């Protein structure tokens, strides 16, 4: 059987999204772990923008946006009903993309920008997290008692933010958010998709993901 090929980088939150969606769906792909400083020619030929994740199908079709890969997997099989909140969940994810992630980048990678105050950018990013905390004060997850697409798509970026300034993060008044994040990062679901794989080289044996062994 020919499986789609997923180019991934373990620590990239976008790639985490893709792996989370695929694992939750129960579908199987070929995993090719890469390093961003030495991107394989096969990946760049499929997706010249050179970012992960990239999903390449046997017929040559390419999906190279993380949320699209999640939706590809879950629209085919969604045993946990992660898509049940539909447009509302995708709107919250969009806010993560537009209202949170740009400020996270300017805080975490401030040396890449000109005239950026990282503390100011961190404060702007925190506004979105405060909104999430208010939601999570009412429910265990962003849309209720059960995990959804929004939780899986947003949590990797909250984790990235927290890890960029852990001492500061832990002093903030968002106990519900902190508890939600801790539940996520310690979950078997997250631990399983963070398994380490050797960097892929052309000619290597196929590595299937998820690896249930």
Check: pTM over 0.85? Answer yes or no. yes
What confidence tens digit (pLDDT) does each residue in 62-77 have? 999 999 999 999 999 9
The topology (CATH level 3) of 86-187 is Glutathione S-transferase Yfyf (Class Pi); Chain A, domain 2 (1.20.1050)
The reported pLDDT for the residue numbered 212 is 57
Q: What is the pLDDT of residue 213?
A: 46
pLDDT above 70 covers a percentage of the chain that reads: 99
For 85-116, write each residue's pLDDT tens digit: 999 999 999 999 999 999 999 999 998 998 99
Strands (E), 29-131: 29-33, 54-56, 62-63
Q: Report the SS3 class of residue 41.
A: helix
Q: Is the preceding peptide bond at 210 cis, omega within 30 degrees of 0?
A: yes
**Which of the following CATH numbers is that of domain 5-80+191-209: 3.90.1720.10, 3.40.30.10, 3.50.40.10, 3.40.228.10?**
3.40.30.10
Q: Where do the domains of the chain lie? A: 5-80+191-209, 86-187
- In tens, the pLDDT along 118-176 reads 999 999 999 999 999 999 999 999 999 999 999 999 999 999 999 999 999 999 999 99
């Amino acid at each position: 059987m020919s499986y789609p090929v997923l180019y991934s980088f373990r620590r990239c939150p976008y790639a985490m999204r893709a792996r989370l969606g695929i694992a939750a769906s129960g579908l199987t792909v070929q995993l090719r772990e890469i390093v961003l400083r030495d991107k394989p020619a096969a990946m760049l030929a499929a997706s010249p923008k050179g970012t992960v994740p990239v999903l390449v199908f046997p017929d040559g079709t390419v999906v190279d946006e993380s949320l699209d890969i999640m939706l590809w997997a879950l629209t085919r099989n969604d045993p946990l009903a992660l898509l049940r909140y539909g447009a509302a969940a995708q709107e919250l994810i969009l806010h993560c993309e537009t209202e949170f992630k740009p400020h996270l980048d300017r805080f975490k990678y401030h040396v890449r920008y000109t005239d950026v105050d990282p503390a100011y950018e961190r404060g702007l990013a925190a506004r979105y997290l405060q909104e999430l905390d208010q939601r999570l004060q009412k429910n265990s997850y962003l849309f209720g008692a059960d995990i959804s697409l929004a939780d899986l798509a947003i949590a990797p970026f909250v984790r990235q933010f927290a890890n960029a300034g852990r001492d500061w993060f832990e002093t903030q008044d968002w106990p519900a958010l902190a508890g939600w994040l801790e539940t996520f990062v310690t979950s078997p679901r997250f631990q399983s998709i963070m398994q380490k794989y050797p960097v892929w080289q052309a000619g290597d044996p196929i590595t299937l993901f998820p690896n249930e062994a």
